[in-house]
Chains A and B, each alone.
Chain A
Amino acid sequence: DAGVIQSPRHEVTEMGQEVTLRCKPISGHDYLFWYRQTMMRGLELLIYFNNNVPIDDSGMPEDRFSAKMPNASFSTLKIQPSEPRDSAVYFCASTTGTLFAFGSGTRLTVV
């Protein structure tokens, strides 16, 4: 298995633009998580899905953030409009229960 796949690896965008981050979980994993890593806050959970259904989105910072999981093999995290303070590394992770597998992350820079 290729592991959790995230795209793009790097994204540079201008303030106000829409940004879409993508994630393909490991096949068979029924949980998918989106995390954001910043120097100030470390790794913080944004939202997670179980069997494609959002379970807890209390970590999503604002209405500008939205996440979808249309099927078991794909999820998106969208920021619209993006702001400089959204600059961070965004990680996707998947699991069947105990062990979480993380993608390599998307480094987002909003200028």
Chain B
Amino acid sequence: DQQVKQNSPSLSVQEGRISILNCDYTNSMFDYFLWYKKYPAEGPTFLISISSIKDKNEDGRFTVFLNKSAKHLSLHIVPSQPGDSAVYFCAAVNYGGSQGNLIFGKGTKLSVKP
């Protein structure tokens, strides 16, 4: 059973527009959520995170929104740039419990077209 789901395997957006990547989770014990970005032939790199006590976190062009009641989070990229083209992984972790491991979604491949 997948605890973290990214239902869109791919997304294509025009340069300058907004990219919205979605993520759903099932485990209400998750208390921290992260987004990772992955280029081909490289390991995932940390992008932005949000604690479960917040509903929004912003860092430059990247904003993550958390809706705990819906068990849903989203990553907004505004404006999108061709260099943002990569696979984006949503991840969740339960730091408050005994499970310290990151659970990942399957990823969404974002293509930003010039």
Determine which residue in B43, B104, B106 has the highest number of CB atoms from chain A within 10 A of its CB, and name it. Answer: B43
Point out the residues of chain B lying under 8 angstroms from A4, CB to CB: 43
Residue B89 CB within 8 A of the other chain: yes
What's the interface size class on A, roughly? 20 to 34
A41-B106, A42-B89, A42-B106 known; A56+B42 contact, CB < 8 A: no
In the bound complex, how far is the Cα of B32 from the Cα of A91, in angstroms?
21
What's the interface size class on B, roughly? 20 to 34
Main secondary structure of the interface of A (DSSP, over half): strand
Cβ A43 vs Cβ B44 within 8 A: yes
Main secondary structure of the interface of B (DSSP, over half): loop
Contact with A along B49-81 (1 / 0, CB 8 A): 100000000000000000000000000000000
| Distance between A33 CB and nearest chain B CB, rounded to angstroms | 6
Cβ A99 vs Cβ B46 within 8 A: yes
Cβ B100 vs Cβ A48 within 8 A: yes
27 pairs from A and B in contact (CB 8 Å cutoff): A41-B106, A42-B89, A42-B104, A42-B106, A42-B107, A43-B89, A44-B104, A45-B101, A45-B103, A45-B104, A48-B100, A48-B101, A50-B100, A56-B101, A93-B43, A97-B100, A98-B32, A99-B49, A100-B34, A100-B36, A100-B46, A101-B46, A102-B43, A102-B45, A103-B43, A104-B43, A105-B42
| Distance between B11 CB and nearest chain A CB, rounded to angstroms | 15
| Distance between B110 CB and nearest chain A CB, rounded to angstroms | 15
Q: Spell out B's residues near A (CB within 8 Å).
A: 6, 32, 34, 36, 41-46, 49, 89, 95, 99-107
Cβ B95 vs Cβ A97 within 8 A: yes
